[in-house]
Amino acid sequence: MRSIKKSTPPRNSTKKGSKTTEPYLFQTIGKTEVHILGTAHVSKQSVEEVEKMIQTLKPDIICVELCESRMKSVEDPDYLKKLDIFKVFKERKMWLLLSSLILSSFQKKIGNKDIKPGDEMRKAITLGRELEKPVIAVDREIQTTLKRSWGNVGFFSKMYLFSALLTSLLVREDVSDDKIEEMKSDDILKDLFSQIPKKYESVKHVIIDERDVYLAEKIRQAAEGNSAKKVLAVVGAGHLAGIERNIQSINDLSVLDEVPKRKWWDNISLILYPVFFAGLIGYTTWSQGGEAGMDLFSKLIYIKGGLAALGALIAWAHPISILLAFITAPIGTFVPIFKAGWVSALSESYLRKPLVEDFEHIADDSESVAGFWKNRVLHIFLVFFLPQIGSTIGTFIVAGKGLKNLF
């Protein structure tokens, strides 16, 4: 294993007293200079500093804190507008899309009219292309990060975290330019994550710590695997300390790219759920007669299906989507892969495809409750959640009635 020596910053290296005011890290890997610029993703000053450093350093390689899929979306401003929502729900990627929408909407809210989220990355990519220099995406795929973070917490923790994220969409907070610049401070970022409850520490570990390692290794590989004399990496300021800790050693990224597999109790629960209801209806029929068994089965259809349909109705879904929610909810009792919310949202995304303007106004429409019904993208998620909540409530009601009759 070849050692990597950390060098002291050269004169005028943009440390204290130098030409840049942005958080900055300098390393040497072999004979390659590695300049790592820390930014805030909604900072006008960060965009200006990226341009200044590229013009001054003239790097041979530019690294950006983006994964391949996000780099495509950053380079293509119409990426979301071209998105096939029906395909997203068909492939069951709605959680990944929703998390991305929440993140981009939140960043847009704390930005301003002049700066879009990720403009400093966009500037680095644009200048790199103009100079005909390699631009390398050094972040882990966002789908992998989300799956690893969600896979480390239980169902109720998922709901708590998700509700906190969703609530953030409804809050409008004007953030001054000074506050945005303060976001580049290590102390502020450390203080932010120190407030996360201990039971969610695993989420912070996946989203921050693991990506520190990932970014450091990919930057190191970019510097070591090419004949470049200078490498410039543009990353969020909060990652600088973690990158500095890890860039001097070789790290195995295959471990960090693994997606958690379903746990054995998740697979068992898929079997126990239909077995419980089939057994409950069967035992009721055996002990109390066929009429009692049919009565319980009817309640399963009308209560669970009815509440799922009510959820779809409250979401103001298409009549066909409401009907599918009613039909799917009781079927899902015995075939758990069928979910009322998933099927009704799939139907809605096909029958009422979002318009270009819906994607453009996601951040603004998400500031009000009414916006979730107005915006077709946000509306589809309502059609996903409300029928599913209704179906779940129906499950507990029917199970309670069945057990009460037995005992």
Q: What is the pLDDT of residues 24-51, one digit of tens each?
A: 899 999 889 999 998 876 678 888 899 9
pLDDT of 104: 57
Q: Is residue 6 part of a domain?
A: no
| Position 28 in a domain | yes
Residue 271 shares a structural domain with residue 348: yes
Last residue of a domain, one of 202, 227, 256: 256
R_g (Cα) of the chain, nearest Å: 26
Sequence-separated (6 or more) residues with CB below 8 Å from residue 29 = 4, 220, 223, 224, 247
The confidence score (pLDDT) of residue 8 equals 38
Residue 7 lies in a domain: no
Tell whether 40 and 178 lie within a shared domain.
yes
Read off the pLDDT of residues 218-229 as tens digits, 9 standing for 90 and up: 999 999 877 889
pLDDT at residue 172 greater than cutoff 60: no
Q: Does a structural domain hold residue 296?
A: yes
- Is residue 148's pLDDT more than 70? yes
Q: Are residues 112 and 36 part of one domain?
A: yes
* Residue 18's pLDDT band (cuts 50, 70, 90): very low
**Across-strand partners of 26?**
35
Q: Which domain holds residue 303?
A: 264-406
Write down the pLDDT at residue 1: 35
For residue 197, give Cα distances in angstroms to 160, 163, 201, 215.
12, 15, 7, 26
Query: Is there a single domain that holds both residue 312 and residue 345?
Result: yes
251/278 same-domain check: no
Determine, yes or no, domain membership for 18.
no
The token duo for 299 is 């309640």
pLDDT number for residue 74: 76
Domain tally, the chain = 2
Overall pTM surpassing 0.75 (yes/no):
no
Same domain, 123 and 174: yes
Check whether residue 201 and residue 288 sit in a common domain: no
d(CA 398, CA 407): 14
280 class by beta-carbon count within 10 Å (0-12 exposed, 13-18 middle, 19+ buried): buried
% of the chain at pLDDT higher than 90: 30
Give 289-292 contacts, CB < 8 A, sequence gap 24+. Answer: 292/405
- For residues 44 and 174, membership in a common domain is answered with yes
8 in a structural domain: no
Shared domain for 46 and 91, answered yes or no, is yes
Q: Is 391 helix (H, G, I), strand (E, B) or coil?
A: helix
284 in a domain, yes or no? yes
Each residue's pLDDT tens digit, 296-328: 999 999 999 999 999 999 999 999 999 999 999
Do 249 and 358 fall into the same domain?
no
pLDDT band for position 233 (cuts 50, 70, 90) = very high
Task: With H, G, I as helix, E, B as strand and everything else as coil, classify residue 60.
Answer: coil
- Picking from 256, 280, 315, the residue at the C-terminal end of a domain is 256
Residues 36 and 158 in one domain: yes
| Mean pLDDT of the residues in the chain | 77
Given 202, 236, 256, the domain boundary residue is 256
